[in-house]
């Protein structure tokens, strides 16, 4: 018998009115007969990370529900942990082999085990064994993987829950709490929407392979046409980040290798929809172990494309998908692009959970602009979640509670109501001036980087954009954005700000900001200290020239503020100015209208500039302090290292002294200084910055309300004296954060 006959027999068994154990016993017997195997066994993953034998043909039947292996233990545990098949001619020689005497499997040599996968998540392991030493053929591996999909549906639909012993749950249903990194403040209560896949396939078996391949061809044709249509629309041309993502999808939609794998799965008896799900599930499981950011990004593109193809096959439009989303959707994803997040209706989003991502990922920046809580660096979140699961996202603590117990849910409901009352207060402050209790004015600016950020300028009441990250436009593109595209984008930004100041940071790539289409150094031991930012653009001056030309033309008749990232020595400013001056001369020669004024600044994030502060202030029109990088370089602390994340406090005496020196140098030379970074976005750290002398700080739009509320109650002069006293002498040994908290409590300042 072949895989098509086996799938037909399984479908018949699934339709019969059997209790779950009898159905499982029949299924493993059928698989063993089809594959001419003496053993077929199904292990199911429990909530306590134990794989329990649920059914067997060939092993000791008394071992069912008694034989157990921990995740990672033995061959079965290894398959479950790695989500990869094992095909062995002599299983007992494998270093992971673990002998379970109750099963009687010692007489079997050849072994083929495949993970039972659903949406890339391991729910169990399906195994066949023979006494003879043989290696199973590729078509047999494929057949067993296809069969494992059927088992995954049985587990996911809860059909096996009745077989569990009292007090034991399958891995699918237990409450789980994760702790990751808080990427955006807020609390979200809602239900899981798995970003991959968004569509659950229930129709698995085909009646006619040729007809299914025709359906696949038609759907692929429609998909390609829809992508072409989206690319030709005016609004997509206007929004550069969407266009670039779609260009990548068009390329992948014509990938022959992908289409060939889909056709092979259909030939083995699956429907076109099930073939798409199987190919993507296999790819996801393999890609989980890849660390290369380019490869993971390509996987996200294929995932999104597969979901669009499923919608074509199932006749469901994006509007239907949006309508089916719960009104309290919390997106759970391994990783995703900014454009993909924008596909979701904003009024239904309550939070975002990412397995990957960093605070500077463009999807995180877009989510912050949308004002939804984000928690990242949560390995395993996707595999532990099912669509519709209750979930809580705590963007303050960096915690996620999946299928929470009722007492946890009640506590967070109270917390969410309290936050809603505070948000109303912040909205009332929006149009009021940012002035302290004792009359000190502070410019509260916002950080931005994409078109989606711009509406937040008016909504938040920000005084302007203190940091516009121009590299995000490059990071969401599949090819290098042309000068005309850049110019149009920058002009749109300036138009949207309606005369409020905007500081454009020149392209800051390298380090952890990878452009897949731009070849950088093959491998750097420490990319954060490597070929990046202004170092890279001075070595590749064409990058800076084309960007400056676009900025100068976009700012015609208006002020243009440009800031150079990661400056290490003053010579880099001089060389950059020479490039900028040449572009000004070039445009002037050809009669282009120029900006009314051009101000060039530097980002102070490399400690070497601390020893040439007065010279720096004379060399530029303004300085922006990049507190994120400056802190990691001053304290020799990788901010992406979870083991060091809480070891050193930015509100420590050494770092506060550094920040004070910078503010004083700016005041001496009358050079404006703005601090852009995570420090500006929390009320207690923003309070410290104002006490150190900063009168301009830039943060995410969602932070402006809480910081303005703090400022309204802040006696700045008293705070400055308090900080001066505690940064000097014996007092400097005390923890500054605790002292600042006490000061705030005594003065009734909301933090």
Catalytic site positions? 362, 676
Across 679-703, b (16+ Cβ under 10 Å) vs e yields bbbbbbbbbbbbbbbbbbbbbbbbb
Across 719-745, b (16+ Cβ under 10 Å) vs e yields bbebbeebbeeeeeeeebeebbbebbe
450, two tokens: 């994409």
Q: How many CB atoms lie within 10 A of CB 68?
A: 18
State which H helix or E strand residue 681 sits in: none
User: Among 389, 437, 428, 427, which Cα is nearest to 409's?
Assistant: 389
- Kindly provide the residue ranges of all beta strands, DSSP E only, lying in 654-726, ordered along the sequence: 673-676, 696-699
CA 516 to chain centroid: 17
Cβ pair 276, 314 in contact under 8 A = no
User: Among 308, 328, 325, 332, which Cα is nearest to 383's?
Assistant: 332
For the chain, how many residues are written? 751
Spatial distance between the Cα atoms of 481 and 491, rounded to a whole number of angstroms: 15
Q: What is the DSSP letter of 165?
A: P
Cα atoms in the 13 Å half-sphere on the side-chain side of 130: 16
Spatial distance between the Cα atoms of 332 and 190, rounded to a whole number of angstroms: 11
Taking the CA atoms of 288, 291, 292 and 296 in sequence, report the sign of the dihedral they define: positive
- Cα separation of the two ends of the chain: 70
Report helix, strand and coil shares of the chain as percent, to nearest 5.
Answer: 50, 15, 35
Q: What backbone torsions phi and psi does residue 579 show, to the nearest 5 degrees?
A: -65, -45
Q: What backbone torsions phi and psi does residue 537 show, to the nearest 5 degrees?
A: -70, -25
Q: How many CB atoms lie within 10 A of CB 397?
A: 11
Exposed / middle / buried, residue 295 (Cβ in 10 Å: 0-12, 13-18, 19+):
exposed
User: Among 90, 79, 87, 58, which Cα is nearest to 125's?
Assistant: 79
Residues 6+ positions from 454 with CB-CB distance below 8 Å: 448, 492, 493, 496, 497
SS3 352: strand
Residues 6+ positions from 669 with CB-CB distance below 8 Å: 614, 617, 618
Residue 338 to residues 55, 374, 423, 509, 694: CA-CA distances in angstroms?
A: 44, 13, 25, 17, 32
SS3 readout for 113-136: EEEEEECCEEEEEEEEEECCCCCC
Q: How many CB atoms lie within 10 A of CB 411?
A: 13
Spatial distance between the Cα atoms of 485 and 490, rounded to a whole number of angstroms: 9
Exposed / middle / buried, residue 483 (Cβ in 10 Å: 0-12, 13-18, 19+):
middle
Residues 6+ positions from 187 with CB-CB distance below 8 Å: 373, 392, 393, 394, 395, 396, 412, 415, 416, 419
Residue 715 to residues 339, 356, 545, 735: CA-CA distances in angstroms?
A: 43, 41, 46, 21
User: Among 687, 690, 685, which Cα is nearest to 674's?
Assistant: 690
Spatial distance between the Cα atoms of 240 and 553, rounded to a whole number of angstroms: 18
681, two tokens: 């976005």
């Amino acid at each position: 018998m072949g895989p098509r006959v086996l799938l037909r027999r399984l479908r018949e068994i699934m339709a019969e009115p059997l209790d779950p154990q009898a159905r499982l016993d029949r299924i493993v017997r059928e698989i063993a007969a089809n594959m001419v195997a003496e053993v077929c066994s199904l292990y199911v993953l429990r909530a306590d990370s134990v794989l329990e034998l649920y059914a067997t043909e060939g092993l000791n039947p008394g071992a069912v529900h008694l034989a157990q292996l921990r995740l990672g233990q033995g061959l079965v545990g290894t398959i479950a942990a790695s989500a990869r098949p094992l095909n062995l001619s002599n299983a007992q020689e494998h270093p992971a082999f673990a002998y379970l005497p109750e099963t009687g499997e010692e007489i079997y040599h050849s072994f083929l085990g495949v993970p039972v996968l659903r949406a890339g998540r391991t729910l169990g392991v399906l195994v066949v064994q023979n006494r003879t030493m043989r290696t199973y053929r590729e078509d047999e591996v494929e057949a067993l993987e296809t069969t494992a999909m059927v088992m995954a549906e049985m587990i996911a639909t809860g059909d096996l829950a009745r077989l569990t012993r009292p007090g034991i749950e399958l891995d699918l249903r237990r409450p789980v709490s994760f702790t990751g990194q808080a990427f955006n403040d807020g609390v979200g209560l809602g239900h899981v929407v798995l970003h991959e896949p968004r569509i659950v396939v229930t129709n698995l078996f085909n009646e006619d392979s040729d007809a299914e391949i025709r359906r696949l061809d038609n759907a692929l044709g429609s998909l390609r046409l829809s992508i072409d249509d989206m690319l030709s629309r005016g609004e997509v041309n206007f929004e550069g980040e969407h266009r670039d993502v779609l260009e990548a999808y068009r390329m992948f939609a014509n990938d022959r290798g992908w289409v060939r794998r889909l056709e092979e799965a259909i030939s083995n008896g699956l429907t076109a929809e099930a073939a798409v799900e199987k190919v993507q599930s296999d790819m996801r499981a393999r890609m989980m172990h890849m660390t290369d950011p380019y490869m993971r990004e390509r996987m996200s593109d294929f995932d999104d494309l597969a979901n669009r193809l499923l919608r074509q096959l199932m006749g469901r439009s994006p509007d239907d998908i949006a309508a089916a989303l719960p009104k309290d959707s919390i997106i759970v994803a391994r990783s995703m692009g900014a454009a993909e997040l924008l596909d979701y209706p904003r009024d239904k989003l309550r939070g975002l959970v990412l397995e990957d991502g960093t605070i500077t990922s463009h999807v995180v920046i877009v989510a912050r602009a949308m004002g939804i809580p984000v928690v990242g660096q949560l390995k395993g979140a996707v595999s532990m979640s099912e669509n519709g699961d209750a979930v809580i996202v705590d963007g303050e603590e960096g915690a996620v509670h999946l299928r929470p117990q009722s007492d946890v849910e009640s506590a967070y409901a109270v917390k969410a109501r309290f936050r809603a009352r505070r948000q109303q207060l912040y909205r009332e402050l929006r149009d009021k001036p940012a002035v302290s209790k004792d009359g000190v004015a502070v410019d509260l600016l916002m950080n931005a980087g994409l078109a989606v950020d711009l509406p937040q300028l008016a909504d938040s009441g920000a005084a302007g954009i203190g940091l516009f990250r121009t590299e995000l436009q490059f990071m969401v593109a599949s090819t290098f954005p042309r000068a005309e595209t850049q110019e149009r984008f920058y002009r749109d930004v300036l138009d949207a700000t309606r005369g409020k100041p905007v500081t454009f940071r020149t392209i800051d790539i390298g380090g952890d900001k990878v452009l897949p289409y731009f070849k950088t150094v093959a491998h750097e031991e420490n990319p954060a200290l490597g070929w990046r930012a202004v170092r890279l653009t001075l070595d590749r001056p064409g990058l800076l020239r084309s960007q400056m030309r676009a900025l100068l033309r976009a700012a015609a008749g208006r002020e243009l503020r440009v800031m150079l990232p990661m400056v290490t020595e003053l010579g880099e400013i001089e060389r950059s100015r020479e490039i900028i001056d040449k572009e000004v001369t070039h445009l002037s020669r050809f009669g282009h209208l120029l900006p009314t004024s051009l101000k060039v600044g530097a980002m102070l994030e490399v400690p070497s500039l601390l020893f040439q502060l007065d010279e720096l202030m004379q060399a530029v029109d303004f300085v922006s302090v990049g507190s994120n990088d400056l802190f990691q370089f001053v304290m020799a602390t990788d901010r992406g290292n979870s083991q060091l994340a809480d070891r050193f406090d930015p509100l420590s005496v050494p770092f506060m002294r550094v920040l004070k020196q910078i503010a004083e140098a700016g005041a001496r030379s009358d050079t404006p200084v703005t601090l852009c970074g995570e420090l500006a976005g929390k009320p207690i750290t923003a309070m410290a910055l104002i006490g150190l002398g900063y009168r301009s700080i830039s943060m995410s739009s969602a932070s402006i309300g809480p910081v303005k509320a703090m400022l309204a109650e802040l006696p700045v002069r008293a705070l400055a004296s308090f900080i001066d006293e505690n940064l000097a002498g014996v007092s400097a040994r005390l923890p500054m954060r605790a002292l600042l908290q006490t000061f705030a409590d005594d003065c009734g300042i909301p933090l």
